[in-house]
Amino acid sequence: MNINTLEEIELGTLIVRTPGTLGGRPHIAGTRVSVQRVAAWYKMGLNAEEIVERMGNLTLVQVYAALTYYHANREDIKAYLAAEKSSYGSR
């Protein structure tokens, strides 16, 4: 529940896949921040609060939603991260 507005947030609406946005990869709704970006920072040792500070335009709820999605779909996100890493290595 959002304390400031007393509205409930439906968790399933926080992470979306939009054709044509970020190659259809899962991302935080209303942003161009992919779950894989949040997961990469997390794997580098940043905690949720540090990720919020780094981005500046995300809320803690959004970052935790991305991390939850990552943990629930770890193999898919690992595949995205591996593909991204190999594409950087081939440049």
- For the entire predicted model, the pTM comes to 0.79
- The 10s digit of each residue's pLDDT in 62-77 is 999 999 999 999 998 8
- The 10s digit of each residue's pLDDT in 12-29 is 899 999 999 998 899 999
- The 10s digit of each residue's pLDDT in 30-54 is 999 999 999 999 999 999 999 999 9
DSSP reduced 3-state for 13 = helix
What is the per-residue DSSP string for 36-82? HHHHHHHHTT--HHHHHHHHSS--HHHHHHHHHHHHHTHHHHHHHHH
CA distances to 44, 47, 52, 90 from 12, in Å: 26, 22, 20, 36
